[in-house]
């Protein structure tokens, strides 16, 4: 398995050929799942005592298994939050794997961590956080949110002895991503949801805080605002919320996992005003910064607080903390010890193309949302539910029931034509099933959008 021979050379060439084919194919079907039993019937036993051989396994992948995946970077994949890694970043993902770097400590991964930090400096500069702020790459937004909540909770507990025995409480809105509630469960803190899926305003937050009991108020340690909600691309009133957090001595976390890429876009940057006052921010390069999976990021105004919360101790780790090994240790700032230098593909792509190209690619996503908004207004059978926000567009097909949306989604997916999924939008007390676009891929065309809308006729 660890021998270098002709088979290895041939396999390397096969892998490179596959990679070139995959990343240069611009028009293709979108890919759809199969039942596990169907896949098993197609490929048979693949993990056996003696192995089936690399060539056979790779052929099974190419013939059957890879087609059972949605091509998340397909220009007509507009569901959830799509991805569209640059080709340079995908290629360097291969280099990252081939380089076998342990990215936890500078002592072992200095070269890779240096590159990650160069990319991170750019991301931090977009936030406007003060000198000293810095971050690390995580496995995604969920892990970044978890790392931030743990840091906030540990900081709060360090403030006085009473907090040490209290169950913490955070406030966010129903527009926040599901990972906030899920990670609060992991950390065992309670979540109070402000009942708005629209922009969370400072006034609504203040009202919620004012209604807390004295006991709840004592337990409250953080507010999570969203910089681009997953469902509708809405940016909360970050400045107003920051002011309240300052006055109430609360940790201010901004979850910009999806929207954070738009910090690079001059046309919408002002919508994020106030983000520079955050104590921590989540931004996912694997969403709108065109990185391959998986690559999230958590950024702290005061990274030393994260280090207090996360740095692991163990006699076997002491050497990493010795002066002789001195450098930046990403493991100290988030929940993971052994880690891939997952910011490396982003660094290579940024170094290759420059940050201006990133700005342009993000602006294209915003433009596509505006274009689709206009197309929807011009067509009789569809209408906007709300004006596009960032790159999210919510719209309804007049007269459709939830089942119609579902059937349409599956029909388009089945044909390999497009993947656009329904969601729900809350108005008053009612949840309406509607259709949603989220644009990330700058290669999506106006024609793609038209064709999808026309398929709803």
Ligand X SMILES: Cc1ncc(COP(=O)(O)O)c(C=O)c1O
Q: Cβ closer to ligand X: 75 or 261?
A: 261
How far apart are CB 175 and ligand X at their closest, in Å? Answer: 9
Q: Cβ closer to ligand X: 113 or 295?
A: 295
CA distance 183 to 298: 14
Query: Could you tell me whether strands 392-397 and 190-194 are parallel, antiparallel, or unpaired per DSSP bridges?
Result: unpaired
Q: Cβ closer to ligand X: 257 or 262?
A: 257
How far apart are CB 14 and ligand X at their closest, in Å? Answer: 31
Q: Cβ closer to ligand X: 226 or 421?
A: 226
Q: Cβ closer to ligand X: 282 or 372?
A: 282
- CB-based contacts of 241: which residues, under 8 Å, 6+ apart? 200, 202, 205, 223, 225, 252, 274
Q: Cβ closer to ligand X: 140 or 442?
A: 140
Please name the residue that has the structure tokens 């420059």: 354
Helix, strand, coil percentages in the chain from 3-state DSSP, rounded to 5: 50, 15, 35
Query: Could you tell me whether strands 382-384 and 392-397 are parallel, antiparallel, or unpaired per DSSP bridges?
Result: antiparallel
Query: Under a CB-based contact definition with an 8 Å cutoff, are residues 227 and 389 in contact?
Result: no
CA distance 63 to 84: 24
How far apart are CB 208 and ligand X at their closest, in Å? Answer: 20
Q: Cβ closer to ligand X: 169 or 297?
A: 297
How far apart are CB 231 and ligand X at their closest, in Å? Answer: 9
Contacts with ligand X by CB under 6 A lie at 81, 140-142, 177, 179, 226, 230, 255, 257-258, 284, 296
Q: Cβ closer to ligand X: 283 or 382?
A: 283
Q: Cβ closer to ligand X: 105 or 333?
A: 333
How far apart are CB 406 and ligand X at their closest, in Å? Answer: 21
Structure tokens at 49: 């005592």
Q: Cβ closer to ligand X: 133 or 257?
A: 257
Let me know how long the chain is: 457
CA distance 391 to 400: 24
Query: Under a CB-based contact definition with an 8 Å cutoff, are residues 221 and 186 in contact?
Result: no
How far apart are CB 293 and ligand X at their closest, in Å? Answer: 8
How far apart are CB 81 and ligand X at their closest, in Å? Answer: 4
Q: Cβ closer to ligand X: 96 or 142?
A: 142
Question: Please, what sign has the CA dihedral across residues 412, 413, 415, 416?
Answer: positive
CA distance 239 to 276: 9
* Local structure of residue 234 (DSSP, 8 states): P
How far apart are CB 162 and ligand X at their closest, in Å? Answer: 31
Give the rounded distance of the alpha carbon of 128 from its chain centre. 20
Give the rounded distance of the alpha carbon of 254 from its chain centre. 13
* Local structure of residue 100 (DSSP, 8 states): T
How far apart are CB 313 and ligand X at their closest, in Å? Answer: 27
Report the run of H or E that residue 194 belongs to, with start and end: strand 190-194
How far apart are CB 186 and ligand X at their closest, in Å? Answer: 13
How far apart are CB 255 and ligand X at their closest, in Å? Answer: 5
CA distance 380 to 251: 47
* C-alpha separations of 142 from 137, 182, 302, 424 in Å: 12, 9, 20, 22
Query: Under a CB-based contact definition with an 8 Å cutoff, are residues 444 and 368 in contact?
Result: yes
Q: Which of 310, 324, 29, 3 shows the shortest CA–CA distance to 147?
A: 310
């Amino acid at each position: 398995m660890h021998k270098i021979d002709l088979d290895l050379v041939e396999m390397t060439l096969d892998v490179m050929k596959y990679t070139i084919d995959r990343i240069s194919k611009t028009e293709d079907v979108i890919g759809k799942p199969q039942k596990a039993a169907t896949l098993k019937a197609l490929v048979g036993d693949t993990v056996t005592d003696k192995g089936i051989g690399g060539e056979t396994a790779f052929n099974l992948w190419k013939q059957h298994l890879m087609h059972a995946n949605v091509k998340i970077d397909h220009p007509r994949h507009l569901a959830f939050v799509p991805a569209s890694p640059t080709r340079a970043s995908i290629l360097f993902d291969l280099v990252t794997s081939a380089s076998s770097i342990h990215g936890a400590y500078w002592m072992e991964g200095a070269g890779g961590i240096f590159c990650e930090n160069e990319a991170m400096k750019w991301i931090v500069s977009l936030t406007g956080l003060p000198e000293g702020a810095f971050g690390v790459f995580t496995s995604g937004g969920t892990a970044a949110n978890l790392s931030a909540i743990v840091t906030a909770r540990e900081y709060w507990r360090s403030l006085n002895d009473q907090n040490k025995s209290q169950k913490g409480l955070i406030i966010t809105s129903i527009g926040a991503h599901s990972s906030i509630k899920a990670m609060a469960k992991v950390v065992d803190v309670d979540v109070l949801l402000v009942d708005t899926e629209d922009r969370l305003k400072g006034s609504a937050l203040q009202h919620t805080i004012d209604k807390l009991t004295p006991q709840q108020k004592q337990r409250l340690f953080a507010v999570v605002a969203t910089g681009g909600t997953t469902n509708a691309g809405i940016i909360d009133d970050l400045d107003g919320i920051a002011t309240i957090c300052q006055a109430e001595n609360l940790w201010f976390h901004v979850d910009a996992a999806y929207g954070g890429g738009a910090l690079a876009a001059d046309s919408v940057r002002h919508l994020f005003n106030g983000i520079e006052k955050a104590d921590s921010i989540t931004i996912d390069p694997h969403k709108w910064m065109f990185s391959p999976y998986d690559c999230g990021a958590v950024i702290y105004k005061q990274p030393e607080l994260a280090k207090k919360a996360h740095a692991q101790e163990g006699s076997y780790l002491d050497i990493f903390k010795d002066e002789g090994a001195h450098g930046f240790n990403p493991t100290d700032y988030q929940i993971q010890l052994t880690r891939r230098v997952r910011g490396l593909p982003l660094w290579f792509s940024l170094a290759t193309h420059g940050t201006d190209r990133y700005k342009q690619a993000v602006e294209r996503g915003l433009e596509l949302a505006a274009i689709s908004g206009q197309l929807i207004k011009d067509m009789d059978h569809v209408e906007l539910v709300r004006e596009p926000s960032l790159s999210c567009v919510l719209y309804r097909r007049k007269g459709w029931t939830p089942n119609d949306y579902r059937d349409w989604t599956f029909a388009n997916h089945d044909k390999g034509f497009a993947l656009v999924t329904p969601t729900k939008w809350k108005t008053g007390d009612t949840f309406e099933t509607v259709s949603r676009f989220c644009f990330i891929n700058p290669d999506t065309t106006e024609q793609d959008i038209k064709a999808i809308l026309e398929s709803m006729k």
